[in-house]
């Protein structure tokens, strides 16, 4: 009997290394399925529907929510974002873990959903605000006020750190990746995630009786 797949939630302020760590985790374990979010925002140049996001109209998005097809959804800066439920349930039933790169609002909703007991949630903190600001500034050629708004949003995100099962400080990417691997390996080993044990112990009992 196969185990149910886990819902692995990674959250962090923008610039704390979550996307890089997600990619590394996917490279380490190709059985991990990445949850592609749906959004009502317009695609940016180079973004492909179904790869970066599922790009949907507002009406389509609202229909999905009404039909119960969203595991979580929220409005951020005037656009809707959400995690479609179908692929996640399919992965769980196939014994594959799904990786979510989502914010605290999404994490909170999934943790409090009926799938909550299969959630492993991990928050990634930056080593310092100076480092966070440096990463946010380096990666975008944006105006200071845009950076400032992102920093405010980062701090709001950080305020939810204590809702997560695990919290890492990403001072070193290799160390943080190793920590993520350890968490995932151990969580998969939990007894209630190893349904084959039932049959294994029945086998021991049969072997004992048959001696």
State the first-to-last Cα distance of the chain, in angstroms, to the nearest integer. Answer: 26
Does 211 contact its own copies by CB under 8 A?
yes
Q: Which is nearer to its own copies, 77 or 208 (CB)?
A: 208
Binding piece for its own copies, criterion CB under 8 A, among 2-10, 57-65, 128-136, 137-145: 128-136
What string marks each residue from 108 to 127 as x (binds its own copies by CB under 8 A) or -? Answer: ---------------x-xx-
How many other C-beta atoms lie within 10 A of the C-beta of residue 197?
13
Q: Which of residues 182-201 bind its own copies (CB under 8 A)?
A: 182-183, 185-187, 189-191, 194, 197, 200-201
Task: Write down the least CB distance from residue 117 to its own copies, Å.
Answer: 14
Do the beta carbons of residue 158 and residue 38 sit within 8 Å?
no
User: What distance in Å separates the CA atoms of residue 206 and residue 76, rounded to the nearest whole number?
Assistant: 57
Do the beta carbons of residue 106 and residue 74 sit within 8 Å?
yes
Q: Which is nearer to its own copies, 69 or 163 (CB)?
A: 163
User: What distance in Å separates the CA atoms of residue 18 and residue 95, rounded to the nearest whole number?
Assistant: 24
Does 34 contact its own copies by CB under 8 A?
no
Q: Which is nearer to its own copies, 31 or 128 (CB)?
A: 128
Question: 151, 157, 170, 176: which one contacts its own copies (CB under 8 A)?
Answer: 151
Do the beta carbons of residue 49 and residue 57 sit within 8 Å?
no
Q: 């179908």: which residue's tokens?
A: 86
Does 145 contact its own copies by CB under 8 A?
no
Pairing mode, strands 54-55 and 70-76: unpaired
Binding piece for its own copies, criterion CB under 8 A, among 37-45, 52-60, 138-146, 166-174: 166-174
Exposed (0-12), middle (13-18) or buried (19+): which is 77, by Cβ within 10 Å? exposed
Which residues here bind its own copies, judged by CB under 8 A? 123, 125-126, 128-130, 133, 151, 155, 158, 161-162, 164-169, 179, 182-183, 185-187, 189-191, 194, 197, 200-201, 204-205, 207-208, 211
């Amino acid at each position: 009997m196969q185990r149910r797949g886990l819902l692995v939630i990674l959250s962090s302020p923008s610039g704390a290394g979550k996307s890089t760590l997600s990619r590394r985790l996917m490279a380490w374990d190709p059985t991990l399925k990445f949850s592609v979010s749906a959004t009502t925002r317009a695609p940016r140049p180079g973004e492909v529907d179904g790869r970066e996001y599922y790009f949907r109209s507002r009406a389509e998005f609202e229909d999905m929510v009404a039909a119960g097809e969203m595991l979580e959804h929220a409005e951020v800066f005037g656009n809707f974002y959400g995690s479609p439920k179908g692929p996640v349930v399919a992965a769980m039933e196939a014994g594959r873990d799904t990786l979510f790169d989502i914010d605290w609002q999404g994490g909170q909703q999934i943790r409090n959903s009926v799938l909550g007991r299969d959630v492993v949630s991990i928050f990634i903190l930056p080593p310092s605000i100076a480092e966070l600001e440096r990463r946010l500034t380096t990666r975008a050629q944006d105006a200071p006020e845009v950076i400032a708004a992102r920093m405010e949003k980062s701090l709001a995100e950080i305020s939810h750190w204590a809702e997560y099962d695990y919290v890492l400080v990403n001072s070193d990417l290799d160390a943080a990746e190793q920590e993520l691997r350890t968490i995932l390996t151990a969580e998969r080993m939990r007894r209630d995630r190893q349904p084959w044990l039932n049959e294994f112990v029945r086998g021991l009992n049969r072997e004992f009786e048959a001696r």
